[in-house]
Every structure is written in structure tokens, then in C-alpha cells.
Structure 1
């Protein structure tokens, strides 16, 4: 009889699978946006994820109190903002760029905890290495998003609107992680997961007109993208990540999570035939280095390390 996998080994495998799925979703969504407008895609994705989580967690939703409801609303607001800006930006930039810029959330979270009121009770002030990680990451951002020959005078005008929207998405996701850190210890996981996804779906329905006239063409690639992003990358991945991180050292989790934009870049080359030039590759490498330094040298705490 073969030996069963240890919880640690299984956690490594499952979290790597989750990270791979998160990376692939950039390509899936980018392709699916040919068949659905960005904000409508988000609404469909979150609605399906909400239905799945309600079915899975219905027994835990019977005793929702005021604290759970408020927490779910706050966390869901940041989550919705993150996805709205991310998908709107993805429609205007490449999947690989979107993934690397979104990865800056790992740098924004410790930077924001410099402000005491934003710092969760169980977190410490960021170390000096956070500044080095941030400097490398933001230097990489400039290389990734601007063409050769860019000067300080035309710096901002040379950055594409899709890249700017994605940067705002990373800031929103950082707010999502910090709000999770402030509320997750007060609310049962099943309740908070369902409420935040449900809140995001409602906000996406309200803000749908902001994206212009929505359009939808039912195709196989759209259905596949919706199925994977809502059921696998949201509902299932959140559950798997919560379990896996209980059995992994923080440094192992950090290293695995830095692979997300790598998976996105590889799949964008294979399936969308996107290519990063030499300058963009240098930028991507700097961003990954900055993320790794920020994650691996962070003071251990219970801060979540990735958006849902």
C-alpha cells in the first residue's frame, strides 16, 4: 500500500495548485472579455461564487449577527473594488502585466501598516527591508509599464490606462487584506467568506452601468472562464488556501504565492501569444524580487497574504 501524503506535503501541492489556477485565470479572463464586458463578467463570476458558497456554508449562515454583517460589508467593498479595477484594467493591458502589477499588493500591505490605525493588533510595524522591497517593486513597475526613452516629464502620460487601473486594483486588494486582518478573528470563516463574496456581487450589480453598455455573447470559452473563476478560483481556492496555510511555514506560503504572476506570464505566452520585451522582463524580475524580499523578511503575523 502506498504511503499517504503528510498534511505538509499535501498543503504544498494544493497551494501550488491554487496559485497556478490564480495565474491561469488572468489568461482565461483576458480571453473571455472578448465575449463579455468586464464589469458584467465580474458580476456573473461573483454571483455564481455566492450561490456556491451559500450552498456549501448554509448551515453556518443561520446565526449571522451584526458584527458578521458589518465585517462582510466592509471586506466585500474592498474586494469588489479590487476586482472591478482589475478586470477593467485587464481589458486594456496584457495578462502578464496585469498579474505582475496585481502582485504589488504584497508590497502595499506592509507599507500601509506604517500607519498605526491601519495596522491590525497582531501585526508589527514593517521592517526596513520592506522599503527595499518596495523600491525594487516600484522600479520594476516603471520598467514594466513604460516604453524605452521615457523621461520624468512624460512619465505618467506614457503609462497605459490599463496599467493604472490595475495599480488601483492592487491598492484596493491591499485594503481588502487589511480589512480581513481586522475582522477575520471576529467572524467565522464560512460566514465571512460568503458575506464578502455576496457583498461584492451586490456592489458589482450596482456599479455595472459605470462600465458602459454591457455586452454578452454566450460562448464555450466564456462558460469555462466563469466556471473556473467562480467555482475553482474563488469558492474552492479560498477554502483550500485557508486549510493549507495552517500546515505551512509562512516563508513557504510566501514563496509559492510569488509564483502566481509567473504562471500568468507563461500561460499568456502559450495561449494568447503575448510576449514581454527585454525592458518589461527586467521590470517583471524586479517586481518579483521586491515581492519576495517583502514576503520573506516580513515580521511573522496573522496578516492574510493573498486576496480571495
Structure 2
């Protein structure tokens, strides 16, 4: 594996940790503002915080794309911003009705959805993907389905949102090798933030006092979760396939549970812990390389035959 690949994966792991603990900030912030107001403030803040980096980090900038590609950047970033808005909105609203830990694990289902959606582009899924998907579905049952066989409203929103997060990963996977990562990040964040503000003023009543009360949560979610973590994702995906990116950033589920336990005193019962374990196992199994040993053995045999 090249050094660049290691660096990319390290960036994605850091992003996953930031996102995992961001669930805590998202829950705390909604004690003062509504979900759309919170998202509007943090995404606009995150987008604006990156603008100085266009000057500070010129090495991230590439040759200016031709006019048709510039249009592709705008359209692609707007589409990425839409996926981001849909996923973040469903996640934020759902957090009002479920725990940060459960929300993190259910959101992590995008690791299975990414290769499934990739079938639309003619990319066939291996048997391990379907086995991992089965484990995740069973785990989701134990985590979210109640004794009366109903799923909570909050968990349902997180589950739908996972589909949009999967679409976002695939969209970024297409955009990041083609355009400047900072341009992609700034545009998608501002699109998401502006749309969130429109919805916030339509269905909520944003106030300065509420924003001030949630200022620390918005600052973390804006600067860290949006400005830094999403940009690390865009840069990291330049040297990693979408399916591998999905397994790495799914570690946010573990950090979400850890953050909820340490900072919000959230408790998962035995059934929920069992469900989390099955989902985590499914996420890992779906990305295991079962042919690595065979490939290595074949290389050793080939080298032996060549030397004889």
C-alpha cells in the first residue's frame, strides 16, 4: 500500500472520530435551537471557515478546470449538497427521538448501502456484501425494534437518512478525483446551509438567544464536524475507493456510542448491545478480503517456481 493510501485512511479515521463525538454536540445543541436552525448555522459556519484555506493551502488547489468542468463542479457540488442536506436533516430531527449511540449505529448502515447502490453503475456486489448486509439487518432488528414489533420514529428517520449518506459517499467518490477538494467542500456546505436556513425560517423560529445558547455545540459541529471532518473525507477519498471509505468512516458509530456513554450518560440495554455487535460485525465482514491469503500463497508459489 502506498504512503498516500495510508495517509488517506488516517484522514478518514480522524474524520470518523470527529463525526462520532459530533452526535453529542448535535443532541446538546437542540436544547436551544431547532434541528434545521442547528444544521443551517453549522454548515454555513463550516463552509465559510474553509474559504481562508484557499489561500493558506495553495498546494491543495489544482489547475483551473475548463468551462464545461466548472459547470460539472457546480452541478455536482449542488447535488452533493442536496444529499448532505437530506441526510443531515433526517439525522438531526431523528436525534430528538432516539439516542446518539443508536443514531450513530443506524447511520452506519450506509456501509452496506454504498456497494448496493453501486450496482446501479454496474458494480456487482460480492457474497460477503450480502452476508454483511444480513448481519446488519438482524442487528438493526435487535437495536431498534421494540417488543411490540414497532420501530421508533427517530430510528426510522436515521434509517432513511442512511440512504442519503450512502448517496453522498458515492457522489463525493465521483467528484473528489476530478475537482479541487476545497471547492467541493465549500460549495456543498453552503448549499446545504442555505437550504437549511430556508427550511428553518419556514418551520421554526430561529432566535439570537437560541443560537448563542447553542454556540459551543454549533462551533464544534461547524468547525470540526463540517469544516475539518468533511474536508478530510473529500481529500481522503482521492486515493481510496468508495467501498473502502465506507468501512473506515463507519467507525463513527463506535465513537458515537462512546461519546453518548461518556458525555450524555446514555445506556444501551443487553438487546441493544447485541444488535450493535451484529451491525458492527456485518460492517466489518462486508469489507474483509478473504482472498488475501490465497493471493499471497499464489505469489509465493509463483516466485518459488520462477527460482527453480
Common fold: TM-score over 0.5 = yes
**Matched positions, count:** 281
Q: Which runs of 5+ in 2 are unaligned?
A: 292-308
* Cα distance change, pair 219–103 in 1 and its aligned pair in 2 (3 A): same
Deviation at 1:77, TM superposition (A): 0.7
Which residue number in structure 1 is paired with residue 75 of structure 2?
70
Is structure 2 residue 292 aligned with structure 1 residue 287? Answer: no
Which residue number in structure 2 is paired with residue 110 of structure 1?
115
Of 34, 39, 45, 1:37 maps to 34
Deviation string, structure 1 residues 177-232 (Cα, Å, up to 9, x no partner): 22223333332222211111111112112222564444664487722211111111
Is structure 2 residue 92 aligned with structure 1 residue 100? Answer: no
> How many Å separate the matches in 1 of 2:29 and 2:256?
15
Q: Is the 8 A contact 1:89 1:162 kept in 2?
A: yes
Which residue number in structure 2 is paired with residue 3 of structure 1?
none
Give the secondary structure class of the aligned counterpart of 2:51.
helix
Which residue number in structure 2 is paired with residue 53 of structure 1?
50
Of 18, 23, 37, 1:21 maps to 18
Which residue number in structure 2 is paired with residue 86 of structure 1?
91
* Cα distance change, pair 129–32 in 1 and its aligned pair in 2 (3 A): same
> How many Å separate the matches in 2 of 1:67 and 1:255?
28
> How many Å separate the matches in 2 of 1:270 and 1:184?
35
* Cα distance change, pair 256–232 in 1 and its aligned pair in 2 (3 A): same
> How many Å separate the matches in 2 of 1:46 and 1:269?
26
Give the secondary structure class of the aligned counterpart of 1:92.
coil
Deviation string, structure 1 residues 54-88 (Cα, Å, up to 9, x no partner): 23226869878212111111111111111011100
RMSD: 3.1
Deviation at 1:145, TM superposition (A): 0.7
Of 256, 263, 269, 2:255 maps to 263
Deviation at 1:108, TM superposition (A): 0.7
> How many Å separate the matches in 1 of 2:242 and 2:198?
37
Q: How does 1:1-308 map to 2 (within 5 A)?
A: 15-57=12-54, 65-116=70-121, 124-147=123-146, 149-150=147-148, 155=149, 158-209=150-201, 211-214=203-206, 217-218=209-210, 222-243=214-235, 256-297=248-289
Indicate the structure (1 or 2) with the bigger Cα radius of gyration: 2
Deviation at 1:142, TM superposition (A): 1.1
Q: Which runs of 5+ in 1 are unaligned?
A: 1-5, 300-308
Q: Is the 8 A contact 2:91 2:161 kept in 1?
A: yes
203-212 vs 229-238, greater mean Cα deviation? 203-212
Deviation at 1:273, TM superposition (A): 1.1
Deviation string, structure 1 residues 144-198 (Cα, Å, up to 9, x no partner): 1122x34xxxx3xx21111111111111111112222333333222221111111
Q: TM-score, normalised by structure 1?
A: 0.80
Q: TM-score, normalised by structure 2?
A: 0.80
Give the secondary structure class of the aligned counterpart of 1:295.
coil
Give the secondary structure class of the aligned counterpart of 2:194.
helix
Q: Is the 8 A contact 2:247 2:283 kept in 1?
A: no
Deviation at 1:256, TM superposition (A): 4.6
